[in-house]
A = this chain, B = another copy of it.
Amino acid sequence: MQIKVLLNESEMPRQWYNLAVDLPTPLAPPLGPDGKPITPDMLSAVFPMNLIEQEVSQERWIDIPEQILEILYRWRPSPLHRATFLEKALGTPARIYFKNESVSPAGSHKPNTAVAQAWYNKQAGIQRITTETGAGQWGSALAFACSLIGLECKVYMVRISFDQKPFRKMMMETWGATCIPSPSEQTEFGRSILRQFPNTPGSLGIAISEAVEDAVSDTSGKTRYSLGSVLNHVMLHQTIIGLEAKKQLEKIGERNVDVVIGCVGGGSNFAGLAFPFVCDKINGKDIDIIPVEPTSCPTLTRAPFGYDHGDTAGLTPLLAMHSLGHKFIPPPIHAGGLRYHGMAPLVSQALEDGLLNPRSYPQLDCYEAALTFARSEGIIVAPETSHAVAAAIQEARQATEEGKEKVILFNLSGHGLMDLYGYHKYLNNELSNHWLADEEIQRAAKDLKDFPKPHQTV
């Protein structure tokens, strides 16, 4: 029995897959402050034009430049594992596979797009990139990529995480990036927030606003902003995960995957694994595709679909997405990467088109699943990833009940070696579950009501 499937360099996918072309309903475009679709030019102070072209591309397949492949190949293709020890622990007839994105030097899937974004910026003559980070996975990945490609990198890290997770900052600094707590004194917006709320813990929304302001206010024109999830080109870069997985499954004769699972915050690791399978589903294959989110931030399972801002301050264009409202602050669960009010427009539209079957779990169920996984398969997963593990285990248990030989595939988006405090608190019964009150959902629906409706605007 094969428990690990590798691919060599020559088998590595050489194109990214663009789901936007195949979605039954075309994506509703981002809208500017005037309520009209924004043009690529309007984004050019924020992103380099080569990435804006990818953001709006109508090509199904986009070539991956050789120099990006050369870097990705240092840890990719990531292994596809068969979780035989977990199967045994569960006594399930299901075959459970996982794609192991934790093998990247930054420990997660994030470098897949960080490397691509840094490279395209460098090609466009950009010398410096700004970004925000919450728990720190994205900031670390971009610091790593900028180090290899030769770009300055400035990371605005949400203050509460900056204080609680000092190792993430050290990681970024080791790769030569600058990391400061947000809100900061270094931007207009940061200063205004600090004047009003000197003791604010900060938020992802504030940090985004600061990073964007930093980029667009550099008069030399040599600075751009970079985002680690949500946008179309980020989803695109991550599809290498699912494209590899398909080759790997084919290699061992697994022709039919029944269930594909990924955790979702902004959507990028889920999209990366799932979109090539969503394509198969659009073409008639019977696959259950499950994005998994925390019950404390149930964007896909409970939030309305509409236009909303990507950041708290409302500085970004309006995106057509499932959203809990751009002012929503999710409860402080340990899976910081899943604490985002919105959802990638591509993932949101795929749900609208009936292609996804989202699910939510409370925190304790996820840690319980992660512990079962760590003690059977030996890998300590990130708190975000634990949501995917919980769903995979539930699917496997159902297969046992039904006596079915189901094939389950999930994305192991990152390891949890920088997030052990959450495990510690779980083992000491110091964690609790969070469910969002119905009033929060009603409030979100009300907040989104004032914006245009997707697909009625163009």
Shortest beta-carbon distance from A251 to chain B in Å: 11
A427: nearest chain-B partner, CB-CB: B173
Residues of B within 8 A of A371 (CB): 174
Cβ-based interface call for A176 (8 A): yes
Q: Is the CB of B3 within 8 A of A427?
A: no
Residues of B within 8 A of A421 (CB): 167, 170
Residues of B within 8 A of A377 (CB): 74
Which of B73, B417, B424 is A418 in contact with, Cβ under 8 Å? B417
**Contact flags (1/0) for A53-88 with B, using CB distance below 8 Å?**
000000000000000001101100000010001000
Say which one of A4-12, A154-162, A237-245 lies at the interface with B: A4-12
Which of B8, B167, B173, B378 is A74 in contact with, Cβ under 8 Å? B378
Q: Is the CB of B420 within 8 A of A170?
A: yes
Residues of B within 8 A of A70 (CB): 3
Shortest beta-carbon distance from A133 to chain B in Å: 16
Cβ-based interface call for A103 (8 A): yes
Q: Is the CB of A174 within 8 A of B423?
A: yes
Q: Is the CB of A174 within 8 A of B378?
A: no
Bound Cα distance from A374 to B70, whole angstroms:
17
Bound Cα distance from A173 to B374, whole angstroms:
11
Residues of B within 8 A of A107 (CB): 417
Report A's interface with B, CB cutoff 8 A: 2-4, 6, 8-9, 70-71, 73-74, 81, 85, 103, 105, 107, 144, 147-148, 166-167, 170-171, 173-176, 371, 374-380, 415, 417-418, 420-421, 423-424, 427
* A-B contact list, 9 entries, CB within 8 Å: A74-B377, A74-B378, A147-B374, A148-B378, A167-B417, A173-B427, A174-B374, A174-B380, A174-B424
Extra 14 A-B pairs, beta carbons < 8 Å, given A3-B70, A4-B73, A105-B379: A6-B6, A6-B8, A71-B378, A74-B81, A74-B377, A105-B415, A167-B417, A170-B420, A173-B427, A174-B374, A174-B420, A174-B427, A175-B375, A176-B375
